[in-house]
Amino acid sequence: MNFWWPGLEIIQTGLDDLFSVDWSLVRFKEESFASWAAVTLLAALLLKIGWRRWIKKEASYYEHSGYLINSQNKPGWIYETLGLLSTAFLVVGIFYVLVAMADPYTVQSGYTKVEQSQEIGYLRDTSTSMGWRYKNTNQARAQIVQDFLLKLIASRQDKKDRSFYLVFAWSPYLIADFTTDQQSLIFSAAIGPIVTTSEDAPKIWPGKFVLKVHDDFDPIPFEGGTNLEVGLRAVIKIFDEKGDKKITEAIKQNPASKRRSVVIITDGASETDPEEQFKELQKRKIVPYLIFIDPDREAEITLHGADSLQIKVADGLLKQVKRYGGESFLATDQAALDKIRQKLDQLYGLTAGVKTYSTEKHIYRLPLTLAICLLALGLSARLLFWKFHRIV
């Protein structure tokens, strides 16, 4: 029982597949071979018939017994029909053997999507000014940025990026190293610091700095400044030391490809000029995308003075980014941030292509399965009713 059921299932599957084939689409590899086999078989059959006639033997043995047999004693039409049926099974079975010998096959087309992964660094400003109130809201800039950043990373969960997350104020802090797990990156960004500054910041900036110590920002001594230069320097070091070597080689072969980028989120009031680092980014084909959060020129002038380095750097930052191959965006309100996020996702679209291919699926097993079944039925019928041909 354990032997027959699997065999029957294989036969049933083969027959189902055979009758579902669109034979108008079937091609044959060995059509000439099958034709010659058919001709040879037909020639052998004709030779046999000719030989029997040559030696004056007839197909029926009733008249060769020397006796005249009454018609009522001969096998009836039912047995003659069964005899013809077994012959039909054998003939059709041989036909499907020839079909299998012709090696039938179908051509199946398909495609593969070629995707090139991106390497993206997320660089976030966590200086004191990021704790200031965002324009026309009751939230700090850092809180608005947090929502923006998490949505941006989440929107790329199916893009197969290799990404890292770095924050900076006066010093850089690597929160999440290169990873392709976007959920892990989101978690790191969600629990990471949003502002790193002195615990006296709320007292120094009453009414302007709206975050609470420990609950909303990380109190770190001697922190709170904005040093975009060291942040970019850390980004370059991570790409140099931990970047995918395959992407590095691909960029060398095709310098126009944009497979490495850094998203810079800052309010722009850097205390150092980062132009040299933008030059280094350009040398390495790392594209900078700058999101300038809630630029408040008047507040910065009040804080640092109209001729201060912070104001000059902020004024020149947008031009620097474009000069060295990047793009910049002004986030003046929440609606602008939503548009920026959508724009960034388009900029980071995967470099993808489609390769089409065709494969040959050989289906000789299907007609061969039917042939075996028909030949088995024909031989079984011939053996089963053989005795009725001998009784006269």
The tokens for 28 are 């044959």
- The residues pairing with 106 across neighbouring beta strands, listed in sequence order, are 361
Per-chain mean pLDDT for the chain = 79
Q: Which fold has domain 118-349?
A: Rossmann fold (3.40.50)
Q: Average pLDDT for residues 221-246, to the nearest whole number?
A: 91
Give pLDDT, residue 62. Answer: 46
Which whole-number Å values give the CA distances from 124 to 63, 76, 158, 226, 281, in the listed order?
Answer: 107, 98, 23, 11, 17
Nearest-angstrom CA–CA distance, 59 and 378: 19
Across 67-76, 232-241, 348-357, 376-385, least confident range: 67-76
Give pLDDT, residue 286. Answer: 95
What is the amino acid identity at position 377? L
Sequential DSSP letters for 319-348: HHHHHTT-EEEEE-SHHHHHHHHHHHHHHT
**Residue 276 pLDDT greater than 50, yes or no:** yes
Report the range out of 54-68, 82-96, 102-116 with the highest average pLDDT.
82-96
Across 3-17, 32-46, 165-179, 293-307, least confident range: 293-307
**Residue 52 pLDDT greater than 70, yes or no:** no
Which position has the higher pLDDT, 223 or 243?
243
Which whole-number Å values give the CA distances from 333 to 134, 139, 190, 202, 339, in the listed order?
Answer: 8, 12, 22, 24, 10
> What residues contact residue 369 under an 8 Å CB cut-off, 6+ apart?
10, 11, 14, 15, 18
Residues 293, 329 contacting (CB under 8 angstroms): no
Which whole-number Å values give the CA distances from 237 to 43, 81, 92, 111, 270, in the listed order?
Answer: 82, 89, 75, 39, 20
Task: Summarize pLDDT for 168-210 with one digit per residue, the tens.
Answer: 999 999 999 999 999 999 999 999 999 998 888 888 888 888 8
Give pLDDT, residue 115. Answer: 61
Across 29-33, 50-54, 276-280, 319-323, least confident range: 50-54
Q: Average pLDDT for residues 331-350, to the nearest whole number?
A: 79
Give pLDDT, residue 336. Answer: 83
Q: Where are the domains of the chain?
A: 4-109+361-390, 118-349
